[in-house]
Amino acid sequence: DVKVTQSSRYLVKRTGEKVFLECVQDMDHENMFWYRQDPGLGLRLIYFSYDVKMKEKGDIPEGYSVSREKKERFSLILESASTNQTSMYLCASSPGTGGYSNQPQHFGDGTRLSIL
Amino acid sequence: AQKVTQAQTEISVVEKEDVTLDCVYETRDTTYYLFWYKQPPSGELVFLIRRNSFDEQNEISGRYSWNFQKSTSSFNFTITASQVVDSAVYFCALSEGLSSASKIIFGSGTRLSIRP
């Protein structure tokens, strides 16, 4: 079974802090994703990565950055946390077969982040 | 542009009733994939099904069935003889194109409550 592990289930930080959310997957997947989930808005893609050191902006990248130094780890960074970044953050991974696949994404349990 | 609409925000039924969750999508591509995910209270999104745009066959898996109709751009999900364990938020999603890292666009979700 694919396992996507997010470092924290709950996190409370203060406005202006630099926040790191970590995600690790154990299935050697090429693709990794960060989403935020807000009521009524579904899941919105922040950033994704299709290879080590590669990253692409999603729909709402402002205020965030990412890092992928190793294939299994994808970090989301809030450079200077603000209260409107209070949300549920979900990490996902999927295999990259190089052709047309659109394989299902496998999700972690989520991190509920509160910015005070 | 791609879009996924789940018009039903919340549905509540009594156990053993059948329930259908609606999903309508918009896309200009002829090649695309549709997904359903379940998010139980624990938070992790669980993949249920993927369907590509060339396969309009309906699918049944136990108490779950999916009705894909390209003519109406719909991919509806029916649970037969619902159970309390089916209570969750259900997301419909769409992915265009041929890349394995294609973005998935999620609907806003339908919260399903099954009352004993």
**How far apart, in whole angstroms, are the C-alpha atoms of residue A48 and residue A54?**
9
**How far apart, in whole angstroms, are the C-alpha atoms of residue A38 and residue A33?**
16
pLDDT at residue number A99:
39
CB contact under 8 A, A48 and B99: no
Q: Is A82 on the interface with B (CB under 8 A)?
A: no
Distance from CA of A79 to the nearest CA of B (A): 24
A71-74 LR contacts (CB < 8 Å, sep 24+): A71/A28, A71/A29, A71/A30, A72/A24, A72/A25, A72/A26, A72/A28, A73/A22, A73/A23, A73/A24, A74/A23, A74/A25, A74/A32, A74/A33, A74/A34, A74/A49
Contact pairs from chain A to chain B, CB under 8 Å: 74
pLDDT at residue number A89:
97
Q: Which residues of chain B make contact with A43, given a CB cutoff of 8 A?
A: 45, 91, 106
What is the bridge-based pairing of β-strands B110-115 and B10-14?
parallel
Q: List beta partners, residue A77.
A: A20, A65
- Look at residues A113, A116, A107 and name the one whose alpha carbon lies nearest to residue A5: A107
**How far apart, in whole angstroms, are the C-alpha atoms of residue A92 and residue B86?**
23
Which residue numbers in chain A have pLDDT < 70? 1-2, 97-101
Q: Which residues of B touch A (CB under 8 A)?
A: 4, 6, 9, 31, 33, 35, 37, 42-47, 50, 52, 91, 95, 97-104, 106-109
pLDDT tens for chain B, 116 residues: list them: 789 999 999 999 999 999 999 999 999 888 889 999 999 988 889 999 999 888 888 888 899 999 999 999 999 999 999 999 999 999 999 988 665 556 788 999 999 999 99
pLDDT at residue number A39:
87
Q: What is the pLDDT of residues A77-92, one digit of tens each?
A: 999 999 999 999 999 9
Distance from CA of B74 to the nearest CA of A (A): 18
A90: nearest CB among B45, B100, B107: B45
pLDDT at residue number B43:
86
